[in-house]
A and B are shown apart, each in its own frame.
Chain A
Amino acid sequence: MILDMHVHTAASDDAAATAEAYLRWIGNMRKKHQIHGMVFTEHRSYDQERDYSALAQKYDVLIFKGAEIETMWGHFLVYGVTDGLLKQFDFMDINLDAAELVREVQAQGGIAVPSHPGRKFIGLCDYINSGADFSAIKVIEALNGGSSQEENRRAFELAAQNNLFGIGGSDAHYVSALGTCMTQFKRPITCIEELVEELYSGDYKPIYLKETQHGGL
């Protein structure tokens, strides 16, 4: 199962694509490539009311919701957002305590994953030697479609040196960027709880779009 773990819609302040535009684009992508779904990870927000189930059914695409929030150690993707987390953390706060966030997300059944860790200032690599306790982090975004090769290399190095699992996500803000990097899971996933469970299992790998061509996997 192949999922794009990091996608922004127009609900994010710097993205132009609507959810339905991505879904129509997937129809075009599937002529050549494999993609089963995606996670909408809007900047600094999580809309509890937004329901993508009808669109998901119409286009035969799995859609999950997460968030990308900003912390003192850079940006983090959060999968498995709960009411409790929304009450406990102000997602608009751009200086959240990352250690507390990672622990609390895990305690409430989710997982927090540093996004584009190789990027300057907004990625975990810049903070890894700060003396803080990063032991609660289990997974990082090792492949990010918006990062340079060097930034992704730094992310892979971080994962290797700290025995962390790596996911891939496009970080798409525009339709055609969807799927540039994705995550290949070994088992099927049908709900956010299963997605979180799989992320902790480590039974997946980050991949580039070119690796998903039909017959190529």
Chain B
Amino acid sequence: MTEASFFEEVEVGDELSPLVKQPTREQIRAYAKVWGATGARFNDDEAAKKEGLPGMIVPGNMMMAALAQMLTHRFSQQALKRLEVDFRGFMRPDDTLTCKGIITEKHIREGQNYIECDVFVENERGEKPVVGKAVIVIPFKS
């Protein structure tokens, strides 16, 4: 795991410190309320089943926010320039969802130090229901 935050200290292949989340039904409902999502799938197991789902699910963008949290804790809010993700599978309440990242590119462009990371959310079964890519700009140490 890398904890370096300066351009010359990070290397392609470095893994970011993971962030573990285990969203409860209450947290999911609270997130959906703030977000303005009134759909059954984020609020009620039985109603979600009527939609053909296995029950309530974790909003994809809730875990996208968790990925952003992992990245901005590791670097800074200003460092994160872009985060794009694909939602590929259901996440259920109380799943152990681990946000992970790995540095895949490192380059200087127009005077700025870019690093690119693959980021993903992995559940306890090794599945990756959220995968994506982040672009970060960090300074030189000196």
Residues of A within 8 A of B (CB): 14, 16-17, 21, 24-25, 28, 31, 148-149, 173-177
Known pairs A25-B104, A148-B127, A174-B118 / 9 extra A-B pairs, C-beta < 8 Å: A14-B86, A17-B133, A21-B116, A149-B125, A149-B126, A173-B131, A175-B104, A176-B118, A177-B131
Taken together as a complex, chains A and B put the C-alpha atoms of A148 and B13 apart, in Å, by 24
Could you show 25 A-B contacts with beta carbons less than 8 Å apart?
A: A14-B86, A16-B84, A16-B133, A17-B133, A21-B104, A21-B105, A21-B116, A24-B105, A25-B104, A28-B12, A31-B13, A148-B126, A148-B127, A173-B86, A173-B131, A174-B104, A174-B120, A174-B131, A174-B132, A174-B133, A175-B104, A175-B105, A175-B118, A176-B104, A177-B131
Q: Give residues of chain B (93-142) contacting chain A, Cβ–Cβ below 8 Å.
A: 102, 104-105, 116, 118, 120, 125-127, 131-133
Taken together as a complex, chains A and B put the C-alpha atoms of A178 and B105 apart, in Å, by 14
Taken together as a complex, chains A and B put the C-alpha atoms of A108 and B68 apart, in Å, by 49
Q: How far is the CB of B107 from chain A (nearest CB, A)?
A: 9
The interface on chain B, measured as residues whose beta carbon lies within 8 A of the other chain's beta carbons, has a size of 16
Taken together as a complex, chains A and B put the C-alpha atoms of A176 and B100 apart, in Å, by 12
* Given A21-B105, A176-B118: A28 touches B13 (CB 8 Å cut-off): yes
Main secondary structure of the interface of B (DSSP, over half): strand
Chain A residues with Cβ under 8 A from B104's Cβ?
Answer: 21, 25, 174-176
Residue of B nearest to A150 (CB): B125
Taken together as a complex, chains A and B put the C-alpha atoms of A206 and B102 apart, in Å, by 25
Q: How far is the CB of A22 from chain B (nearest CB, A)?
A: 10
Chain B residues with Cβ under 8 A from A14's Cβ?
Answer: 86
Partner of A16 from B102, B125, B126, B132 at Cβ < 8 Å: B132
Chain A residues with Cβ under 8 A from B126's Cβ?
Answer: 148-149
Taken together as a complex, chains A and B put the C-alpha atoms of A1 and B133 apart, in Å, by 30
Residue of A nearest to B127 (CB): A148
> Is the CB–CB distance between A176 and B102 below 8 Å?
yes
Chain A residues with Cβ under 8 A from B84's Cβ?
Answer: 16
> Is the CB–CB distance between A177 and B13 below 8 Å?
no
Taken together as a complex, chains A and B put the C-alpha atoms of A199 and B56 apart, in Å, by 44
Taken together as a complex, chains A and B put the C-alpha atoms of A149 and B123 apart, in Å, by 13
Taken together as a complex, chains A and B put the C-alpha atoms of A16 and B132 apart, in Å, by 8
Chain B residues with Cβ under 8 A from A173's Cβ?
Answer: 86, 131
Q: How far is the CB of A155 from chain B (nearest CB, A)?
A: 16
Residue of B nearest to A149 (CB): B126
Chain B residues with Cβ under 8 A from A17's Cβ?
Answer: 133
